[in-house]
Structure 1
Amino acid sequence: MKKSRQSIKGQTLLNQVIISAVFTLLFSSAAAAQLTPEQQAAKDRGIALYKQSDWYDSQPLLKTAAEAGDRQAQYYLGEAIRLSKRYITMEAKKWYETAAEQGDLYSMLRLSSKDDLCRYMGTCTGKSGEQWRKQAIKIARERAGKGDTQAMIVLFTANQGLGWLEKAAEAGDGFGQQLLASAYKGGGGWFLIPGNREKAIEKWFKASAESGFPPGMYLYANFLYDHGGSKADVGYWLKKTAEAGHIDAMGSYALNVAHMPDSYGYPLDLVKAYGLAYLISKLSGGGAAPKEGRETLSELTRHMTPDQISQGVEFAAEWESSHPPLSYFEPVYGY
């Protein structure tokens, strides 16, 4: 049947309105996730504090960006709440769900966790954990098929096989390379020829270190130390890791720069050692590092003049302004 010109005109106008509404919705959503400089600064600082295990002070900063629609901030806010409360609360679940609805795979995995109080209480609403898990795996497979190495690592994390981690490592992902080396070290994978496991572990720790991934650098330095590597090589990677902001590496580097002991031939520099220990001592998150930093400061003070101590504090300020924030570099989907 032929439609009248008026009917066609009316439908065309309706289509234009619908298309216009869709584009408005898309652009408004994009705008909501576009952070202002202040929101971005809050997000960056919040993530930095989170990675220093400061799960309390990070929350208001992360919330600023999370409420603006940033899915990474939403995930980390959920994590900060979960870790500070020691379980997935309803508020943490809300932020995981918000991030998951935007495609965040790690949030989907968290939502499939059994460590969720509302599941025990029977007050959960929305998708079940199994539904979130299936969705995470489905989307991760699609992304991995397009070369997304993070999706490959998610599939490994979701117990979909070591092969996914091997693919991520082969594709040059520093985190994937470090995880693969650690998996092999823990007994994963099959090696028929004696000695090939150790060779693979060294290969992937080295690859991760050379990619610039700080935990890979640190673990490669430890591997070299444990396997008779040269002092020069161990010292090189320890220094590189400290310069990248790795808290544990920086603590060890500070002690060696102070010759407490002198294991790697670094020049004695009490001012530098004091500055690095001072930065660690100021951390307000968890872990033993802040206490160890204060102990190092106490020991160094016995061998330094007041002027040298002042120089150490100045060195700390200069270092902080020219290096990445200190971090424990826990995995994104950590404990």
Structure 2
Amino acid sequence: MLADTGRPYLFKKSRQSIKGQTLINQVIISTVFTLLFSNAAAAQFTPEQQTAKDRGIALYKQSDWYDSQPLLKTAAEAGDRQAQYYLGEAIRLSNWRTTAEARKWYEAAAEQGDLYSMLRLSSKDDLCKYMGTCSEKSGTDWRQQALKIAYERAEKGDTEAMTVLYTAGRGLGWLEKAADAGDSYAQNLLANAYKDGYGWFLIPGNREKAVERWFKASAEGGNPEAMYSYASFLYDNNGTKREMAHWLKKSAEGGYITGVSNYALRLAHLPDDLGYSLDLVKAYGLTYLLSKLEGGGTASEDGQRNLQKIAEKMKGQEIQEGIAFAKKWEKNHPPLSYFHPIYGY
């Protein structure tokens, strides 16, 4: 059986206040000027800073919270708000709490309009609340700002804002709107939400149909995690081997770590249940890549164990060919990734 994937976390609702609303208006005015400045800074983003950002985000998505930080910081200091958010996340996750340094980068990204940073700053569950390291601005203020801006953007068709409203606990309907608008990330989240029991389905079997529909839509939209989830759904619901083999391969080609692992094992016929031709060199190469990961998760450990199983069926020359294949694959495919939810953990 193929494995399940991660789920988003939700926030509870909180009240607005007159004081908070006034502060929101002040921040929005400040944000306009900040965005104008950041656009000018973005025009001066160097190739080196872009490379650092891309590599930093790739390491972050491999759960390498530590090695990603220096690279993300290079881009964050240049004013890139996405790098600022992920740097805040990497620092928070590596310290098990929102430190002053993490908060600094969340605030920098939030001041440029990053909604996920605003949500992170509004968290009621972070340890900084109990350790007294949070800044003066309250989580309620940040939440009010996030919701106000998200509603404004969502009404204009911004699917990320719709997904943020769902993440902030404003109703599954917002995620459904984002999915209907064609957002593959939202479609994958929605399929998982339905799979976990969210939403109402009066007619028996309609929930499963909805799960299948949105996994498939997300997969067709290019989401490697959804490609794997759709293959897994087909596996559990008597799909054809041809379809399962197609989507598992596409998931691996897109860099989804679980997809790569499952695809490699089936190329090695461990087991032979999807009809792939035996290809030990390719199987070894892909598993070799997994075994070299240095981030979190179990991919490296599993890869090392599976590498031994595959090697038992190979000759010495084939193993060298497998390593050569791994290097070629790495150059021509996206970085390996767990595809963590943007707002998770």
Is the pair's TM-score, using the shorter chain for normalization, greater than 0.5? yes
Distance 1:152 1:196, change over 3 A: same
The residue aligned with 1:114 is 124
Report deviation, 1:119. 2.2
Report deviation, 1:28. 7.5
2:93 corresponds to 1:87? no
The residue aligned with 2:163 is 153
Trace 1:98-109 onto structure 2 (pairs within 5 A).
Answer: 98-109=108-119
Report deviation, 1:152. 0.3
Query: Which of residues 184, 187, 196 is equivalent to 2:197?
Result: 187
Could you list the runs of 5+ residues in structure 1 that have no partner in the other structure? 1-21
State how far apart, in whole Å, the 2-side matches of 1:115 and 1:80 are: 17
Query: Which of residues 120, 129, 141 is equivalent to 1:131?
Result: 141
Report deviation, 1:151. 0.4
Trace 1:162-173 onto structure 2 (pairs within 5 A).
Answer: 162-173=172-183
Letter in 2 for 1:67: E
Could you list the runs of 5+ residues in structure 2 that have no partner in the other structure? 1-31
Distance 1:301 1:147, change over 3 A: same
Checking the alignment, whether the CA contact within 8 Å between 1:112 and 1:133 is kept in structure 2 is yes
Query: Which of residues 275, 288, 313 is equivalent to 2:285?
Result: 275
Checking the alignment, whether the CA contact within 8 Å between 2:38 and 2:112 is kept in structure 1 is no
State how far apart, in whole Å, the 2-side matches of 1:143 and 1:57 are: 34
The residue aligned with 1:321 is 331
User: Structure 1: which 4+ aligned runs deviate by more than 6 Å?
Assistant: none
Distance 1:26 1:207, change over 3 A: closer
State how far apart, in whole Å, the 2-side matches of 1:90 and 1:115 are: 16
Query: Which of residues 185, 189, 192 is equivalent to 1:175?
Result: 185
Letter in 2 for 1:199: K
Letter in 1 for 2:155: G
**Aligned residue pairs, count:** 314
State how far apart, in whole Å, the 2-side matches of 1:177 and 1:310 are: 41
Checking the alignment, whether the CA contact within 8 Å between 1:277 and 1:293 is kept in structure 2 is yes
State how far apart, in whole Å, the 1-side matches of 2:203 and 2:181 are: 25
Report deviation, 1:33. 6.7
State how far apart, in whole Å, the 2-side matches of 1:280 and 1:262 are: 20
2:72 corresponds to 1:48? no
2:342 corresponds to 1:332? yes
Find the residue that maps to 1:114 and give its secondary structure.
coil
Give a deviation string over 1:234-275, Cα, whole Å, max 9, x none. Answer: 111111100100001100110000111111010101100010
Letter in 1 for 2:132: G
Distance 1:183 1:28, change over 3 A: closer
Bigger relative contact order (CA 8 A; separation at least 6): 2
Checking the alignment, whether the CA contact within 8 Å between 2:84 and 2:108 is kept in structure 1 is yes
Give a deviation string over 1:85-128, Cα, whole Å, max 9, x none. Answer: 11111110111011001100000000011243332233433421
TM-score, normalised to structure 2, is 0.88
State how far apart, in whole Å, the 1-side matches of 2:42 and 2:136 are: 24
The residue aligned with 2:79 is 69
State how far apart, in whole Å, the 1-side matches of 2:337 and 2:214 are: 22
State how far apart, in whole Å, the 2-side matches of 1:141 and 1:123 are: 30
The residue aligned with 1:35 is 45
Letter in 2 for 1:159: G
Checking the alignment, whether the CA contact within 8 Å between 1:88 and 1:115 is kept in structure 2 is no
Find the residue that maps to 2:137 and give its secondary structure.
coil
Trace 1:144-293 onto structure 2 (pairs within 5 A).
Answer: 144-293=154-303
State how far apart, in whole Å, the 2-side matches of 1:206 and 1:77 are: 32
Checking the alignment, whether the CA contact within 8 Å between 1:33 and 1:69 is kept in structure 2 is no
Report deviation, 1:31. 2.2
Checking the alignment, whether the CA contact within 8 Å between 1:217 and 1:238 is kept in structure 2 is yes
Query: Which of residues 301, 308, 312 is equivalent to 2:318?
Result: 308
The residue aligned with 1:142 is 152
Letter in 2 for 1:130: T
Letter in 2 for 1:235: A
Report deviation, 1:27. 5.5
Checking the alignment, whether the CA contact within 8 Å between 2:165 and 2:171 is kept in structure 1 is yes
TM-score, normalised to structure 1, is 0.90
State how far apart, in whole Å, the 2-side matches of 1:303 and 1:178 are: 37
Letter in 1 for 2:160: Q
State how far apart, in whole Å, the 2-side matches of 1:123 and 1:56 are: 21
The residue aligned with 2:10 is none
Report deviation, 1:84. 0.6
The residue aligned with 1:12 is none
Letter in 2 for 1:161: G
Of 204-213 and 113-122, more deviation after overlay is shown by 113-122
